[in-house]
Amino acid sequence: MYRTHTCGELTMKNVGQQVTLAGWIQRIRNLGGMTFIDLRDRYGITQLVFNMEKNSQLCEEARALGREYVIQVIGTVAERENKNPRLATGDIEILVETLKIINPSAIPPFTIEDETDGGEELRMKYRYLDLRRNPLKNNLLLRHRMAQEVRRYLDGQQFIEIETPVLMKSTPEGARDFVVPSRMNPGQFYALPQSPQTLKQILMVAGYDRYFQIVKCFRDEDLRADRQPEFTQIDCEMSFVDRDDILVTFEGLIKHLFKTIKGIDFTEPFQRMSYADAMAYFGSDKPDIRFDMKIVELTSKAKGKGFGIFDQAEYIGGINATGCADYSRKEIDALTEFVKRPQIGASGMVYVKYQSDGSIKSSIDKFYTADELRIWLEAAGAKPGDLLLILSGAREKTLKALGNLRLEMGDRLGLRKQDIYAPLWVIDFPLLEWDEEMQRYFAMHHPFTAPVDEDIPLFNTDPSKIRAKAYDMVINGVEVGGGSVRIHQKDLQAKMFEALGFTREEAEYQFGFLMNAFQYGAPPHAGIAFGFDRLVSLFAGLESIRDVIAFPKNNAGRDLMLDSPSYLTEAQLNELRIKVVTDEKNC
C-alpha cells in the first residue's frame, strides 16, 4: 500500500495514529536539530518532522532530498507546537520513522509556488509542473465541478449526452477548418467540427428531442487571450420548442451553476436586450451591464452650429462619466490617445465638463454657448461634477468606439467589479451581415438560423433588415453562449442559401446531407452552445481561458510541451499522397 491517507486530511483526530503518506516534496527546512519537509499531493500539504537527536541517519537522509522528489514515509501523527491555521492539516505533523525515495526529481525550472518565477512559455513547456501549482489545480477542480453540475442539471431536464464524430465535414460557423487527410480516400479530407451543429440538428430529425454534449470544437483562427484553436462547448439542441423555451431552460442552467458553484441566487429573470439597443446604448453586442453609463445620442442637438467635424458626422454620441469633471489635461489627453488607437479608430474626442460650481467648460467653447451645452448635459443626465465625453463619425464605428471608451471609463472608475455578475440575453440579432470587401451577405450566426416570421418578406426587399431568432448570453461583457431557432422548412432554407449567394449545387455539396434529412419529418428545433472554457474562466475570475485548460496552445497555435505541430516523415506523406510545398525541410 502506497499510502493510508492523503496529504490533505490528517487533523487532531488522528493524533497518535501511525500513517503512511506519499507525495512530492514542496519544501525542506533545516532548523538546528530538526528538519521539516512539506509533503504535497493534490489534496494538500502535510508537515513531516525528522529529529537529529532521535534518528540522525534518517535526518541526514531527509536533508539530502530535493524539491519535487516523490517520497513515501511512515510515521506517527503528533500535535504541532506552532500551529498553522492556514493549512487544513496545520494542527498536526508527522514524526517520521521510515523514509523511502520513490523517485528523485531534476531541479524544476521554476518554483512550484502560488506565485511562480516562471514565464508563460516556460510554464507551458513544463505544463506538468505548472499544473502542480495551486492556482491551476484549483482551476481544473472548478472546471470539473462545473462540468458535473452541467450534466446534473441537463440530465434532470431529460437531456441525453450523445457523442458526435471528430472526423467530420465542414460545419457552418464560417471560420477556417482544420482538416485531416484521408489515407483510404486519397485527395479527400475530413474537417474537424467547428461545432457539432449539423449533427445535432440531425439528431433532432432522429427524434432525440433533448441533446447535449460537452464537446471539443476546432476553429483555425488567429488567436487571442480568450481564443484557442480547440475549445470546449456545452452544445445543446431541443425539439418542439420556440425561442422562449430555450431562454428559460438555459437561463436555468446558468442559474444552477451560479447557485451550486458560487452560492449566488439569481431570483429574477435575466434581462433581455435587443441587439439594436445593445449597440445604441452600449456600443457592443456584448454589453457589460455591471454599470450604467449608457451612450447618449447627440446628433440632432450638436449639428448645424458651425463645428465642421460634428456637422459632417453621421452620428454624434457621448457618455457621462460621473464625478470626473476634475479630470486633468493629462487624463483627458490619455483618454484621447486611447480612442485614437487603431483598434478603436476615433479621430478625436470632445469633452464637456459640468463643473461642481455649475459652470461649464469644454473643448468646443468656441462653437457652442453654455446653454447649448447644457442641453447635451441634460440629455446625458449629467450632474455638476460630471464629465461628458463625446465622439463622432460613422454611426456604427462611433458607437463601437464609445462602447470601448465606456469600458475604459468603467475600469478607471472601478465599476467592473470581479465579484459582481451581470448576465443578460441579447436577442433579435440581424440575420445577415453585409461584407463590403466580398460584396455579399454572410449569416451573422449561421445559415440554419431562422428569421423572425414577420421579417421573411424582407428577403425580397431589404435582407439587411431581417431579424434573426438568435440569442446570445452575455455575462460581464463576455459572450458566454449563443444559439438560435433553426430553419426546418426546405423552402425557407433555400431562400436563405440564395440570400447568402450559394448556388444550388454549392448548398447541395456542403449541406445536402442535412437538407436530405429535413425531407423526412424535421421537427421544429432550436439550440445553443456555451463556451465552456470562457464560462469557467469567468467563474474563476480570470481574463484568459488558457489557465482553465489543462494543455493549452500558445498564441502561435503551438503546444510547447508536445512540440506540436511537427513535420511528418516522407513515408507518412507518401502514404497520404501529400506533397508539402515549403522551404522548410521535412524530417
Q: Which residues would be at the binding site for ligand ASP (CB under 6 A)?
A: 173, 195, 197, 482-484, 527-529
Give me 19's grid cell: 500513517
User: Nearest approach, Cβ of 258 to ligand ASP (angstroms)?
Assistant: 22
Q: CB-wise, 112 or 192, nearer to ligand ASP?
A: 192
Sorted by sequence, the CB contacts under 8 Å of residue 229 that are 6+ apart come out as: 178, 218, 219, 220, 221, 223, 553, 557
Strands 470-475 and 478-485: antiparallel
Q: CB-wise, 124 or 192, nearer to ligand ASP?
A: 192
Torsion, Cα of 367, 372, 377, 380 (10° steps): -100
Q: CB-wise, 97 or 173, nearer to ligand ASP?
A: 173
Nearest alpha carbon to residue 486 among 270, 297, 156, 203: 203
β partners of residue 432: 443
Cβ distance 106 to 132 under 8 Å?
A: no
Q: CB-wise, 38 or 285, nearer to ligand ASP?
A: 285
Q: CB-wise, 49 or 236, nearer to ligand ASP?
A: 236
Nearest alpha carbon to residue 125 among 559, 435, 492, 577: 559
Q: CB-wise, 215 or 458, nearer to ligand ASP?
A: 215
Strands 210-218 and 478-485: unpaired
Write the DSSP symbol of residue 262. Answer: I
User: CA-to-CA distance for 49 and 569, rounded, in angstroms?
Assistant: 54
Q: CB-wise, 173 or 226, nearer to ligand ASP?
A: 173
CA 135 vs. chain centroid, Å, equals 17
Q: CB-wise, 526 or 538, nearer to ligand ASP?
A: 526
Q: CB-wise, 68 or 472, nearer to ligand ASP?
A: 472
Nearest alpha carbon to residue 231 among 559, 545, 564, 563: 545
User: Nearest approach, Cβ of 550 to ligand ASP (angstroms)?
Assistant: 22
Nearest alpha carbon to residue 220 among 206, 211, 230, 232: 230
User: Nearest approach, Cβ of 565 to ligand ASP (angstroms)?
Assistant: 24
Q: CB-wise, 37 or 528, nearer to ligand ASP?
A: 528
User: CA-to-CA distance for 19 and 6, rounded, in angstroms?
Assistant: 10
User: CA-to-CA distance for 280 and 398, rounded, in angstroms?
Assistant: 10
User: Nearest approach, Cβ of 448 to ligand ASP (angstroms)?
Assistant: 8
Q: CB-wise, 41 or 235, nearer to ligand ASP?
A: 235
Nearest alpha carbon to residue 84 among 47, 133, 137: 47
User: Nearest approach, Cβ of 482 to ligand ASP (angstroms)?
Assistant: 5
> 243-257 and 134-156 are packed helices; what angle lies between their axes, rounded to 10 degrees?
140
Sorted by sequence, the CB contacts under 8 Å of residue 227 that are 6+ apart come out as: 221, 545
User: Nearest approach, Cβ of 531 to ligand ASP (angstroms)?
Assistant: 9
User: Nearest approach, Cβ of 190 to ligand ASP (angstroms)?
Assistant: 18
User: Nearest approach, Cβ of 449 to ligand ASP (angstroms)?
Assistant: 7
Q: CB-wise, 349 or 528, nearer to ligand ASP?
A: 528
User: Nearest approach, Cβ of 534 to ligand ASP (angstroms)?
Assistant: 12
Torsion, Cα of 183, 185, 187, 191 (10° steps): -80
Q: CB-wise, 224 or 504, nearer to ligand ASP?
A: 224
Indicate the burial class of 146 (C-beta count within 10 angstroms; 0-12, 13-18, 19 or more).
Answer: buried
Torsion, Cα of 494, 498, 504, 505 (10° steps): -130
CB-CB neighbours of 306 under 10 Å: 9
User: Nearest approach, Cβ of 224 to ligand ASP (angstroms)?
Assistant: 17
Nearest alpha carbon to residue 466 among 501, 494, 430: 430
User: Nearest approach, Cβ of 195 to ligand ASP (angstroms)?
Assistant: 3
User: Nearest approach, Cβ of 233 to ligand ASP (angstroms)?
Assistant: 6
User: Nearest approach, Cβ of 273 to ligand ASP (angstroms)?
Assistant: 19
